[in-house]
Copies of this chain bind each other. A is one copy, B any other.
């Protein structure tokens, strides 16, 4: 038995629990194509992207708040697993299941920190604050980059078409408009290269900007 304060014990219980997110695998394939990526790796990557790409975020945004959101945004998947963002059936009831998971996982922390983390997770989900919009933009952008670099990656594996990629990821424009312009060009290039089938509504989705 290690003697310590109840508060530190609760914090350590949380730190131990979240190790499990390293075993939650996503559809995204690593850029060297060796295997799929897990949530811990994904969260690290986008947290660092938040630093490197900060100049494309809304001015005056609190980047620490964005990073804290990104570091915790997938912890609910310890209980719920990862839902592929093009899996419309899997999306049904997702928020409710994840909210329960948030209560359990963040609930391991002392009450003040649990409440703060839960609020931060809800803020991420709500996509209203500038920090949340920027965080969500990065969360969408990173798998797209992986799919492009791996010549289709998860898009190809699941038969996702460019029109759906455009519709699904247009929210990037809310958090980082310049990065959305770049992402659109990447999608067009992926179609040209045959990494991505255009799909029936490609022209119409592209016109929407």
B-binding residues in A (CB < 8 A): 1-4, 8, 11-12, 14-16, 18-20, 22-23, 30-32, 34, 37-38, 40-41, 43-45, 47-49, 51-53, 56, 63-64, 67-68, 71-72, 109, 113, 145-146, 149, 178, 182, 185-186, 189
**Which B residues are CB-close (under 8 A) to A64?**
63-64, 67
B182 adjacent to A1 (CB under 8 Å): no
A-B contact pairs, 28 of them (CB 8 A): A2-B182, A4-B182, A4-B185, A8-B56, A8-B178, A11-B52, A11-B53, A15-B45, A15-B145, A16-B149, A18-B45, A18-B48, A19-B30, A19-B32, A19-B146, A20-B31, A20-B32, A23-B30, A40-B40, A41-B44, A44-B44, A44-B47, A47-B47, A48-B71, A51-B68, A51-B71, A64-B64, A67-B67
**Which B residues are CB-close (under 8 A) to A44?**
40-41, 43-44, 47, 71
Report the nearest B residue to A20, measured CB to CB: B32
Which secondary structure characterizes the binding site on chain A? helix
CA of A72 to CA of B9 in the docked complex: distance in angstroms? Answer: 28
A32 to chain B, nearest CB (A): 7
CA of A20 to CA of B37 in the docked complex: distance in angstroms? Answer: 12
CA of A132 to CA of B38 in the docked complex: distance in angstroms? Answer: 28
B53 adjacent to A71 (CB under 8 Å): no
A44 to chain B, nearest CB (A): 4
CA of A182 to CA of B11 in the docked complex: distance in angstroms? Answer: 12
CA of A72 to CA of B182 in the docked complex: distance in angstroms? Answer: 25
Q: Which of B2, B51, B52 interacts with A185 by CB under 8 Å?
A: B2
A146 to chain B, nearest CB (A): 8
- Between A30, A31, A44, the greatest number of chain B beta carbons within 10 A of the residue's beta carbon is seen for A44
**Which B residues are CB-close (under 8 A) to A16?**
31, 145, 149
